[in-house]
Structures are given as C-alpha cells and as structure tokens.
A and B are shown apart, each in its own frame.
Chain A
Amino acid sequence: MFEKLSQNIQEKIKLTDEEWQLCKTFFTPKKLRKKQFLLHEGDPCKYTAFIEKGAMRSYSIDDKGSEHILQFALEGWWITDLYSFYTGEPASYSIDALEDCEVLLITSPDYENMMQQIPAMERYYRLLLQNRLIAMQRRLSGNLSYTAEQKYQWLTQSFPDIFQRVPQHMVASYLGITKETLSRIRTRMLHKKN
C-alpha cells in the first residue's frame, strides 16, 4: 500500500524507521474506480494525491466543452491542483482516474503537521517541487516553441507506455493538437522507423 511512496521518498532522502512509521499516519489510503473523480473543477482541492497504482489526469473544460489535459500521472507521481490546495480557492481543474487506482491522500493541515514533525520531509518536498517546476517549464516552453512532431517525440520519451494506457484523444488533448493530427504524426513516425 505504501511501497511506491516509500521508494519515492528513499530515492530523495533518508528517513529512520520511526520517521517512516510516523509519516504513513498522515496519509489516507483510497481506492478509485476508473472514471471516478478525485476533484471536481470549482470545488476546493482538499488533497494532494500520490499514485501507488493506476493512472490519473488533471484537466479543465472550456466554454465549448473541449477538454484540456494539463497532466497525466502514473505510479509514483503526485497530482493535485496546487493553487487550490494551498489557497483553499475553488479548483481550476478536475482530476479523475483513467484506470482503477490506489492513491495516498494528504490534506494541507496534515502536510504542514508532517513537515513540523519530520523535518527531513521538507527536503523531500523541496526536491519534489523543484522537479515539478522544471517539468512545467519544459512543458510550457515545448508548447510555445515545439512543432507537433517534436511534442509527440518528447511525450513518447517521457511516457514510453502512454499509448497503451491512455486513449489517443486524451494524448492529443495533452499535446494541444487534434486527434487527426496525432494520428498523422504517428503514421509518419512509424514510416520513418521502418
């Protein structure tokens, strides 16, 4: 139940057994079924979720009803609406499960308590936020300057098994292109390979 989180933390910092046992008490284990929501756009985001098993996405829906996917998150990843989580303001994104999921949830007050009681976790979260910032910066600059083909290549390098786990129209939404364009790029790349 806590295997991936333990691994994720140990890759970045060292906790004593006692600290790890205490750390686990701040999290709420939760199973989500495929398509079940963790967060609805407009509700305050109460949790940050760590994914032990499954895949999730965060997205918004525009006035025309089109989905815009901000993030995919697989095992070992964190997902939340950061702004809403820290401010208590209504969320700008919805978060739902793309597969049956097992997640570990933590609330904002518990997160603060954990930092106070286990100071080593401050470093863990600093590294986490640092990595997240880098990923967002890359995604932003990719969106501004990459061609559709470059975006596709970047995605397949970052998430090698994404097409096995996520429907094609969602991948297209994540890349900010139509599914027809995505399909053309995939065909072209396949021909290049052969």
Chain B
Amino acid sequence: MAGYSICIIGVSGNQGTLLAKKLGVQGKNQLLLIDEQTDKTAGLIKEILCMNPEAMVEQLSCMKDASWEADIIALDIPEEQLHVLAEKIREVVNNKTIIRLARLSIGDTEKGEQAFNDHETENNWKIFFPHAKIVKVFIGSLATYLESSNKDALKTVTELLTEAGLNPYPELKTAETINDINFYSKQLN
C-alpha cells in the first residue's frame, strides 16, 4: 500500500521534531514540514536526509496548502495559537486525521497525566475541527501513547507509528503510562 502524505506543523517543538525524524527515517511517507522557525526546519530536513537520503521530505510555507495536500496533519502548537491555525486550515481538513501532539509544558510537571487528559482542551479541538478525526498522541520515553474517540483514525495512527518504530501504546490508564508521562514532563523542567 502506498504511503501517506503527512503534514507536520510545528517541527521546532520536541514532539514535532521527534515525529518528523522517526517518519523521515522510516521513509515510506511524504513529509511536509512547516514551522515559523524556517532555519530550524531546514536544519531538521538536512538531519533527516543525512539519516535517510531517500526520505521524501520538504519544507512548505503555507499551512493551508500543506494541510490540503496532506492525508494526515500532525500539530505541535501551543493551545493559544489553535484558533488562529484552525481558521486557516479548517476547511481543508474535513474528514482527515489530525494528530494532536500533546504538549506538556513546565507548568504541568507535577501532573503530566492531567495535562494529557485535559478534556476541556480536547473539547476545544472538536469545536475548531468539527469534521476531522482527532487522535491525541504523546511520544514518551518508553512508548507512544494514543487516544481517540474515532476507532478508524486510532487504527491508522497506531499502524503509522508502529511502522515508524514509535512503539504505540493505546492503553492510557495504566500506572506505567502515567509514570512515563510524569517522568517525561519532569525532564522538561
């Protein structure tokens, strides 16, 4: 089966960078990378191409065009920028899978799992992207954690992350998961 076209917006964030590297090295999918820090993005592309010269990766500047072209859109952006981004891309992400990369900031360090399970934020995403299939993803130190109310999208992203060697782990409520998320968020501090 042919690969996906995946747009990652916010590749200067640690989760976005990690996802881009893993998918780039795996090389099956076309990657469209976007970030305000264009030099950093260009550097990341060089790094990916060093690891896999066959990687299909490029830097784009228009979020709408990149999201329009993509089958899957991964977003590593601060929550406060969400409404601005949503205005730009909402109409082109209808029925597409959006990977919401969970951002754990320094303020979340004591309770990483609470940040991950923030339902208020989750509702905002549903309001901003009413016809998209949202999958929340957190790439931890032991595994990658996923959550979604859409089973098909969850399956698609699980397969994608498995192929990229990210060890997806869709069970969120276990002690290991919570410990890992907390461990990771403490490292951020």
Q: Please list the residues of chain A having a beta carbon within 8 angstroms of any beta carbon in chain B.
A: 1, 24-33, 37, 40, 43, 102, 105, 107, 110
Contacts and interface: CB of A to CB of B under 8 A. Distances in A.
8 contacts: A24-B94, A27-B94, A29-B92, A31-B69, A37-B2, A40-B1, A102-B68, A110-B95
Contacts of B94: 24-25, 27-29
Nearest to B30: A36
B111 interface: no
Interface of B: 1-2, 65, 68-69, 71, 91-92, 94-96, 131
Name, among A28, A32, A37, A107, the residue most crowded by chain B CB atoms within 10 Å (CB to CB): A28
B65 A1 contact: no
Nearest to B132: A28
A40 B96 CA distance: 20
Given A25-B131, A29-B68, A43 B91 contact: no
B68 A31 contact: yes
B105 to A, nearest CB: 33
B68 A27 contact: no
B2 A30 contact: no
Contacts of A26: 95
Given A29-B68, A31-B65, A31-B68, A1 B91 contact: yes
Nearest to A29: B92
Nearest to A26: B95
